[in-house]
């Protein structure tokens, strides 16, 4: 597969534009649902960048895992916790925003300075594995990265069990603090929220 | 396809901007779901960095792509656990406002 130079530059510019504008939309838009869908767009564009970098397997993994799993999970979480609420005003919000923005801009300028001033040891482009990258990744995963690969499976199992335990409600018959029996009704039934200050 | 047309620095600058946007969102969001989205943005910025280095500097061994796959795995686990924690917080405090999660504040 070989794309013309102009096509590559156009693809790169469009994808980066979508990534940056989409990411700004994710953090700045008022509605959290729009943010979630824009986040899906950002993930798809990042997968496009991976395709541009000759990594079709990682691009496919990005689409499957991020767009197919993480984004759907986020949308489900929004659906479960979506309640219109008036946020309490907090004092010195303005100074907080100014400080955090200046920190981010400083970090951005430092990063861009390093990006531009460092001399990167670019490898010979003729050595590239190109379309064989999937085969090469498989070889890595089953030889020198075998231990991380196996540990990742344990990590996923732990994350799955942990998520189930955390998201599940009322696994005990009796309340630990009061000793009263706990209602085992439907999850959506309203009940007295815990840990809220009574004043 | 050789990538001489696009310099490596272009990819690095895009990922730097994405990372800083993620940090800004992490610091300034009031909604806990948006904080998790910002973390995903930062992880994606790191992935772009790893992928571009693997393509330009280590284009024969492509260890950066293997690292990216591990980062994607950990990010998926992180999202699942993070959203479960968020659900149980919401169940106990009936809000997703980050300012109201102050149990550990003294």
Half-sphere exposure in the Cβ direction for B41 (13 Å, CA): 33
Rounded to two decimals, the ipTM of the complex is 0.93
Closest partner residue to A123 among B58, B86, B97, by Cβ? B58
User: Which two structure tokens, joined as six digits, stand for B23?
Assistant: 């940090």
> Is B86:A77 a contact under the CB 8 Å cutoff?
yes
The DSSP 8-state label assigned to residue A196 in this structure reads -
Cross-chain Cβ contact A2/B1 below 8 Å:
yes
Give me the helices (H) in chain A, please.
5-28, 32-52, 56-62, 71-81, 93-117, 133-142, 146-167
Mean pLDDT of chain A: 86
Kindly state the average pLDDT of the residues A92-104.
Answer: 93
Q: What residues of chain B, 43 to 82, have a C-beta less than 8 Å from chain A? A: 44, 47-48, 51-52, 54-63, 65-66, 68-70, 72-81
Residue bearing tokens 């197919």: A68
Reply yes or no on whether the pLDDT at A56 is more than 50.
yes
In chain B, DSSP finds a helix count (H) and a strand count (E) of: 3, 0
> Is B58:B52 a contact under the CB 8 Å cutoff?
no
Say if B93 is an interface residue toward chain A (CB within 8 Å).
yes
More confident position, A124 or B76: B76
> Is B18:A19 a contact under the CB 8 Å cutoff?
yes
Other Cβ atoms within 10 Å of B50 Cβ, number: 22
Reply yes or no on whether the pLDDT at A135 is more than 70.
yes
Reply yes or no on whether the pLDDT at B40 is more than 60.
yes
User: Which two structure tokens, joined as six digits, stand for A124?
Assistant: 């010979």
Question: For the whole model, what pTM was predicted?
Answer: 0.87
Q: What residues of chain A, 83 to 122, have a C-beta less than 8 Å from chain B? A: 83, 85, 87-88, 90, 96-97, 100-101, 103-105, 107-108, 111-112, 115-116, 120-122
All domains in chain B, ordered by first residue: 8-95 (1.10.287.3510)
């Amino acid at each position: 597969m070989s794309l013309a130079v102009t096509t590559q530059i156009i693809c790169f510019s469009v994808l980066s534009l979508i990534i940056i504008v989409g990411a700004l939309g994710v953090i700045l838009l008022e509605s959290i649902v729009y943010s979630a869908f824009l986040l899906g767009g950002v993930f798809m564009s990042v997968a496009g960048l991976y395709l541009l970098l000759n990594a079709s397997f990682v691009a496919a993994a990005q689409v499957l895992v991020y767009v197919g799993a993480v984004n759907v999970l986020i949308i489900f979480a929004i659906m479960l916790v979506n309640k219109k609420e008036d946020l309490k005003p907090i004092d010195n919000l303005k100074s907080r925003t100014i400080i955090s923005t200046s920190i981010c801009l400083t970090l951005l300028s430092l990063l861009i300075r390093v990006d531009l001033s460092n001399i990167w040891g670019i490898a010979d482009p003729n050595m590239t594995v190109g379309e064989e990258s999937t085969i090469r990744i498989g070889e890595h995963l089953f030889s020198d990265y075998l231990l991380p690969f196996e540990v990742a499976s344990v990590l996923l199992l732990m994350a799955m069990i942990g998520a189930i335990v955390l998201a599940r409600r009322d696994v005990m018959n009796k309340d630990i603090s009061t000793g009263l029996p706990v209602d085992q009704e439907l999850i959506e039934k309203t009940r007295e929220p815990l840990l809220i200050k009574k004043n | 396809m050789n990538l001489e047309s696009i310099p490596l620095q272009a990819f690095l600058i895009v990922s730097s901007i994405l990372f800083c946007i993620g940090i800004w969102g992490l610091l300034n969001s009031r909604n806990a779901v948006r904080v998790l989205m910002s973390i995903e943005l930062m992880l994606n910025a790191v992935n772009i960095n790893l992928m571009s280095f693997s393509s330009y500097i280590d284009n024969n061994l492509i260890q950066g792509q293997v690292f990216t796959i591990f980062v994607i795995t950990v990010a998926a686990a992180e999202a699942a656990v993070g959203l479960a924690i968020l659900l149980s917080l919401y169940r106990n405090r009936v809000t997703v406002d980050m300012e109201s999660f102050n149990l550990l504040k003294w």
